[in-house]
Amino acid sequence: DRPGCSRRTSTDHLVGARDPGYFITFEGGDGSGKSTQFSLARDYLTRRGWDVIASREPGGCPIAEKIRDFVLDADVEGMTAECEALLYAAARAQHVREVIRPAVAAGKLMLCDRFLDSSIAFQAYGRELTEPAVRQINALAVDKLSPDLTLLYLLDAKTARERVLRGGAPDRIEREGDAFVGRVRRGYEALAQREPDRFVLIDAARSIEEIFPDTARALSGLIDRGS
Ligand code: TMP
């Protein structure tokens, strides 16, 4: 059978405590291997009978995918940090309303490759906009939606760069240097420190097979607790 998230006790949403589904995000610097773990997680949870919806940011629906093409285009030059932050938030506003909210409200297991934490790490820390500014820009986009669980894949800048270069031509964000990558990482670490219950930190400097048990354990920790 495919129990979906209805395995959670029914009183949870009778009291209006929260949505019936789960919202789980995957975060990390470029080259951290997060997207590979994301695909494996989607297949693993589907095999276990969960009703999984998998999406990504920027993107996840046609309008947001168009914004993605533009914001990552390596030929686009001179984009200000403010413009960049607003474009990521615009894509998110569409994605939250068209995909994420409906999925969580319908009791699905919503997996997203990146969400708001990416904007804090990349635009607030990486681009050095202030965190309050980036949060303010995103307040309308996320409309108080927050992940139940965030898996954060951490990797040193040198290994990350090697992996990005192996992946082909770098996009507009990936071509930033090690100082930017270092600031992004510090941003993620600060976020994780502030919300230790939401974040699970995963050492990404290992093989795919070595990392996946940690991914699976983190997911089971949330969904088996609620079932
Ligand atoms: P991806 O390569 O994981 O698909 O992510 C696309 C790029 O966009 C990646 O370099 C991180 C960046 N990004 C931001 O800078 N801010 C954001 O809010 C999001 C969602 C992604």
Cα of 213 from ligand 1 centre, angstroms: 25
Q: Amino acid identity of 132?
A: P
Query: Atom 18 in ligand 1: which residue has the minimum CA distance?
Result: 119
Q: What is the pLDDT of residues 88-122, one digit of tens each?
A: 999 999 999 999 999 999 999 999 999 999 999 99
Cα of 123 from ligand 1 centre, angstroms: 10
Q: Check whether 2 has a pLDDT greater than 70.
A: no
| pLDDT band at 14; cut points 50, 70, 90 | very low
Q: What is the pLDDT of residues 115-157, one digit of tens each?
A: 999 999 999 999 999 999 999 999 999 999 999 999 999 998 8
Query: Atom 15 in ligand 1: which residue has the minimum CA distance?
Result: 122
Q: What is the distance between the alpha carbons of residues 24 and 219, in angstroms, rounded to a whole number?
A: 8
Query: Atom 7 in ligand 1: which residue has the minimum CA distance?
Result: 173
Query: Atom 1 in ligand 1: which residue has the minimum CA distance?
Result: 30
Instruction: Walk across the sheet containing 52-56 and list its strands.
Output: 52-56, 109-113, 22-28, 149-154, 199-203
Q: What is the distance between the alpha carbons of residues 206 and 163, in angstroms, rounded to a whole number?
A: 12
Among 166, 144, 176, 156, residue whose Cα is nearest residue 23: 144
Instruction: Map 39-58 to HEC letters.
Output: HHHHHHHHHCCCCEEEEECC
Give the model's pLDDT for residue 126.
97
The separation between CA 223 and the C-alpha centre of its own chain, rounded to angstroms, equals: 18
Mutate to test the pocket of ligand 1, among 25, 68, 114 (most ligand atoms within 8 A of CB): 114
How much is the pTM?
0.92
| 22 Cβ inside 6 Å of ligand 1 | no
Give the model's pLDDT for residue 17.
53
Q: Check whether 168 has a pLDDT greater than 90.
A: no
Q: What is the pLDDT of residues 25-54, one digit of tens each?
A: 999 998 899 999 999 999 999 999 999 999
Q: Amino acid identity of 73?
A: D
